Amino acid sequence: MAAQPKPLPVEGPHYLEGGGILGWLTTVDHKRVAVLYGVTALLLMLVGGTEAMLIRTQLMRPDNHVLTAAWYNQIFTMHGTTMIFLVIMPLETGFFANFLIPLQIGARDVAFPRINALSYWLFLAGAVFMHLGLVTHVLNLGTVPSGLPNAGWFGYANLTESQYSPGLNIDFWDIGLLILGVSSVLAALNFFVTIVNMRAPGMTFMRMPMFMWAILVTTILILLAFPALTVGLIFLFLDRFFGTHFYRVTAGATPILWQHLFWIFGHPEVYIMALPAFGMISEILPVFSRKPLFGYPMMAYSLVLIAFLSYGVWGHHMFATGMGPIADATFAITSMLIAIPTGIKVFSWIATVWGGRLRFTTAMLFALAFIIEFTIGGLSGIMHASAPIDLQQTDSYFVVAHFHYVLGGGVLFAILGAFYYWCPKISGRMLDETLGKWQFWLLVIGFNLTFFPMHWLGTWGMPRRIYTYAPGMGWSTLNFVETIGAYIQAVSFIVFFANILLTLRRGEKAAADPWDGRTLEWSVASPPPAYNFAVLPEGGSRDDFWVQKYGTLAGAHGGGSSAAGATAAAHAAAEAAEHIHMPAPSLYPLLFALGVFLMGVGALAWLRIVILGGMVVALSIIAMAFEYPAHGEEAAESEPVFYRGVDNRKAGMWAFLGSECVFFTALISTYMVYKSRNLAGPDAQILNIPLTSFSTFILLMSSLLMVLALAAFRRGDDKWGRIWLLGTAGFGCIFLGGQVYEFTDFYLQGLYMQTNIFGQTFYTLVGTHGFHVFIGVCWLVTLAIAGFLGKIDSKRSLAVEIAGLYWHFVDVVWIVIFTLVYLMRTVKHA
């Protein structure tokens, strides 16, 4: 079959050219942000790999003393934390998704370029902050012991309490993860809106590349899973800094609360890492099999079903905690059900390869190995859906083998395959295939030599997380073999990094479409220009670029553009590129992240640094809001007709509020469980119902004023718009004043946050909501001031509408809190 001529990419300056160091510090180009993510995550992969080698060296022989027990705990904790939060997630979502989303959906950039840049700088701040303890330890700074986090990457209570971890180690871990969580949520919000709102015309959801489906579902998981972890980390922060006892049994609490909050996040987190890998494999296999992806609709639906079921399986991590037969049975059933959509994907990948004209490139080898290794991990995972089997295997090396086959042999193999597949597009140069295949075989041999024997060790009773073991346990030989396998893996990654460095230095230049790809990213030059597409494409079919080249998904004749037509299109596109409006660079995302970093340092060192950091954050937010006041209007005029009238900010706010719903649900649920566990001191009887009823009425009336403010701005009545905005903010201040009075009264009656379990849950829940009200008041005052300065008018009333959505949400949340905390207390004690 003769191929039709390929569409010609527009030649011109690519995204890596120009700007210098300042250009990289202020960039908002999604491709440059992706490169920043990728370089940082690869450096941290070296750190995480070094930690793994130290662990395996320590366990190579019995009674070994390469590491002390204290350092082993720190290295063990940081290896898990690094690989999950600082390597795998950033590479998948920060690097590949960031680079490819606009290119695969036919857009010029992401929905929120500055938020995208902010997510990277917060990621960097969180990664650095988590390692600050090592710096303070080596330099012997301060009087409090410090070092790397040392309670396990899962941070189980009560190991993380100050009584058992008295230094700053866990504080660095807690605050660092909070910063990383904010980064992840911002990135997910940005990607979600980009995929939903900015697809090329004709690219319906059922025509998107499968990688886009995977990222879309992953962003939803992040938005709905991370808030639970955030709540757990806030509780831990309060325990360590303010003397509360959210996880202490003697105070009426339970350490199992942490496990629930952590695994409600933790098992969706497994799929947050796995689903992008599924998407990568689903892009690689069809290209090197020269066949369309088998069962596309079922592959898409299975992603959604996996995400849905992932929220009902967290309890299989907790079978050993004694949840009871009903809970055990429920989580066992859902854990078994989730194997069904996963099996659909495995069989669809096999069917895609079956009968294809296979090209065994390095990317294809990694993709095929992924199917085998991930299936091994999946089969051992199904075993853990059975509570009796799980009770035997939990906390043994069998579990270590299972999740390394899922996340190492599965996810990491997919990431490496994606490097070899998309590196030509990202860097403009081809990774060396010979070195790639050397790396592949070394990694396959080393990986299986390291982790497969762990199944036997776990069955023989070797517990995980042990520092050393006695020589007579029968574990010595397999641990020695595993360590040899780990060193082979280390050699494979040395080959990988050498391949990257050699490619960047003198690698073969890549064509626009070196693999004969199927999706739109291969239709532009390698590396792509800063604007991606001079003329935005029209997604008329699935695998649209393949159809442009060959006429049908199967590759039949017809439908391809003629060489003359392609040349004419290229010239037209080059002319159009001169009038493209791209987002301007900004320094404020970097300053925002710096402010957050200073707040974290101040929490451990000096309150004034917290205040300084907070001021930097506040000023950065205001500056970003008004940095380019006419940017939205200018961009709207330059965008194609099909983008006009679609505002990403409203969709972004709705996505954020969805995440906030989970956040407040976790807080409210904790209060509802804990309020009846009060052991001593004041309880809900102390609540001031009349005062709070009045405050509630005032807050609800403020929503009415917010509606009036928006209506006024929409009809061009700026004066009354400003008045209603200030009125809304004033009512919010009255509400906050009522809360301050109530809290002061409670304090005088002896109810502090540290007094009892009721005090800590009440103050945390109500105080967190009050903080949201305070943020809303500052937002409204800022908008009113902007109105006085003439920056808010009928054309920009959407800024008021978005603030209104936030304000109404805060009011609705308060109705729920008022009903459950205040009114239900009255009914109970009537």
Could you give the residue numbers annotated as active site? Answer: 79, 109, 153, 183-184, 267, 269, 271, 282, 316-317, 342, 345, 464
Please confirm whether the linkage preceding 527 is cis (ω < 30° from 0). yes
> What's the rounded Cα separation, in Å, for the pair 410 and 413?
6
Q: For 160, list phi and psi in degrees, rounded to 5.
A: -90, -5
- State both tokens at 33: 């942000």
> What's the rounded Cα separation, in Å, for the pair 412 and 276?
11
Dihedral angle sign, alpha carbons of residues 807, 813, 818, 819: positive
Angle of helix 718-748 versus helix 798-817 axis, rounded to 10: 30
Residue among 251, 231, 346 at smallest CA distance from 298: 346
Contact in structure between 299 and 282 (CB atoms under 8 Å): yes
Element (H, E) at 699: helix 689-714
Cβ neighbours, 10 Å, residue 730: 16
The stretches of 59-168 forming alpha helices (DSSP H) are: 69-81, 89, 98-105, 113-130, 132-138
Residue among 420, 396, 408 at smallest CA distance from 446: 408
Contact in structure between 674 and 245 (CB atoms under 8 Å): no
Name the DSSP class of 821: I
> What's the rounded Cα separation, in Å, for the pair 769 and 763?
10
- C-alpha 335, offset from chain centre: 23
Helix (H, G, I), strand (E, B) or coil at 709: helix
> What's the rounded Cα separation, in Å, for the pair 404 and 374?
9
Name the DSSP class of 407: I
Please confirm whether the linkage preceding 140 is cis (ω < 30° from 0). no
